[in-house]
Structure 1
Amino acid sequence: MKLKGIKMKLLPNQAQKDQIDINIQLRRFIKNKMLDMQQARYKNGGQYVNKFGMNYLIKVLKLEFPFLKQAESTCLEYACADLDQAYQRFFTGQNKHPNFESRKRPHNSYKSKCINQNIQVADNHYIKLPKLGLVRAYGLERIRGQIKNAVIRKEPTGAYSATIQVEHEPVLLPKTNKEVGIDLGITHLAIQSDGFKLENKNFERSLAKKRRSWERKLAHRRTQALIKIKEAETAGVELDLSEFKNVQKAKQMVAKLNRKIANQREYHLQKYTTDLVRHFDLIVLEDLKTKNLLQNHHLSRSIADAAWVKIKSMLAYKCDWYGKELVLVNPAYTSQICSHCGENTGKKPLRIRTFACPHCHTKNIDRDVNAAINILNKALAER
């Protein structure tokens, strides 16, 4: 059995929205309290407390802070588990030390565990969630299998969504006995060894002008609002940015445009990666270090929009689901080696788009297709 996440839109009433906000705020409160405790123990020479010890401390904190009982209990336990995971990554050198979560920019989601069927689908229109009761939702017909947990999220656009994790037993796709190597690019998002090129639709650039316009409006409106807030403070009146509707509208418009870009990119990549696992048994991808490539300020925007890491993660879980194989190879010299004779012909500027080998006199091969063939050959040679 595999685990599958199903995202859906929620339409909570006002009371349910208030409860979601309470769960988010108290999740942040518990995480910051536990982080403060861990830092204090370290300064006093104490040992690190794992997630099970932090879960026990929640009971003590509920006695000290009775308002914690308003939150859904398992979301507080998941806050401790998230902090413990962050510390484990810090101990192994993967991440920096965990930071406190700001009240101004909180983590706008929380996770609830399914215990005694406290998360279940009532019908095609309502889902039962802990502390919320029956919440209206779209897309419930896609939930099949035992529910494990749910992540409730408050989007920057003001909308609410839930990601339900269910047990899923995928049906293995039929074998095709075909192999493909993929070279990742910018002009074309993916170039396959069989000559197919996936067009890069540049979703971020297509809405850049409209998004930039709303970002300027937001900056101007926020500046004007801050001036009014300072004037009100001198007069003894308290104001907050949340009370300025024009600021909130501009903020939501920027968030909606960012969400639209992300949804378009997600759909494009999901469609392509699903098509790959249907037609090929072995998929070979170059293991690019995107973090290093983003330091190139001339290409960083295009590289970020291409979302190469997302392609790799999608192929990883889809190959695992459907019985296909994904291999990552070192991309070193794949654009310099001749795919026919294997000789290294040296570096070439990006303006040269065709590959010509002076050793075997191979000519008029697309440079990116040649690299994709080399990527596939590398994986086959290592098997």
Structure 2
Amino acid sequence: MSPQLPDGEAAPRDGSLPPAVLEGAAERDFGVYLHVPFCTVRCGYCDFNTYTATELGEGASQATYASSALQEIALAASVMERAGLPARPVSTVFVGGGTPTLLEVVDLAAMVDGVRQAWGLAPDAEITTEANPDSVTPESLAALVEAGFTRVSFGVQSVVPHVLATLDRTHDPLRVPDVVGWARDAGLAVSLDLIYGTPGESLADWRTSLEAAVALQPDHISAYALTVEPGTALHRRVRSGELPAPTGDDEAAKYELADEILGTELDWYEISNWARTPDDRCRHNLAYWRGADWWGIGPGAHSHVGGVRWWNVKHPRAYANRLAAGESPAHGREILDDDAQRLERVMLGTRLATGFPTAGLDRAAVASLIAEELVTFRPGTITLTRRGRLLADTVVHRLT
């Protein structure tokens, strides 16, 4: 069961944007997120807006999905032009899901080409797709490169079989070195996603996954704490007492171990992300954290342009029907006021290793955070310490 859509005002049926989005637009990067809401099976911990074949029902299919996405891309280009937004080539494209690589590469290529035709792509555009280790072949990865993809992010999560079983992950961990090698041979930059805090995962299990990931010498690693989301199968198992709930102390110890082991080969640049070099950082996610503009294509996808945030209807059938009728698939939206935008700047900007400007922050709050070793100070900026990263919500609360 995927999460409920946020509250907000009704979105305009034609998708129109208010004049306020023009302010500063020429200085903001523009990216595109393409959501592919399909999976072969639903993982027990996942509450993303995804659907298996049996959950899709009538009137929606993987085979026709690219066509609907192309309709929204065309609509997005029209809306932005009508709003008077300056022409900006797309700097990053991120295809997420779900499992995007369940679609034929020709469909993924068509969506990327639709973005190219609508806005153009920057010469150095980063184009990423997520993939499960069991959803690719050497041939499909090579075809992704031919389609313009530059980067692949594999959902590894763990290399320990009993941990994968608890998460309901279906891939064979022994396949991971193969897919990393195939991707590298094809010319793709490689990122690996890991999850820590799974019920029953020991610190030794987590160390095994970290060391295995580092040994593969990827360009980038993300490590996320497991969240037991209401409505998921994992939540029901924890609530019934079948599985123990993750604890803050356990997840803190595992984060510290991740930073220690990953830091031997990569540098952290955002709370949950490490990269081999600055060029290997995920530029698409950096755009989110820096408040850039992006248009989210697909059912349930979220977008942000100039302080206006909106989200699409969730089900692929409703999404396709809206577009077939010539209407925006947006379900609701919110226009962020100055206070909300400031909160977001602090909440997202403090996550980055590059530091957050101290201008406008309360001096006493900054001084106390320094004294408590939650942040370090360089002239004009503060940066979270490792302990500060574990208490990032506290830091944000005190700065706002």
Question: Which TM bucket (shorter chain)?
Answer: under 0.3
TM-score, length-scaled by structure 2: 0.26
TM-score, length-scaled by structure 1: 0.26
User: Which fold has the larger relative contact order, with Cα–Cα distance below 8 Å and residues 6 or more apart in sequence?
Assistant: 2
Whichever structure has more helix as a proportion of its residues is 1
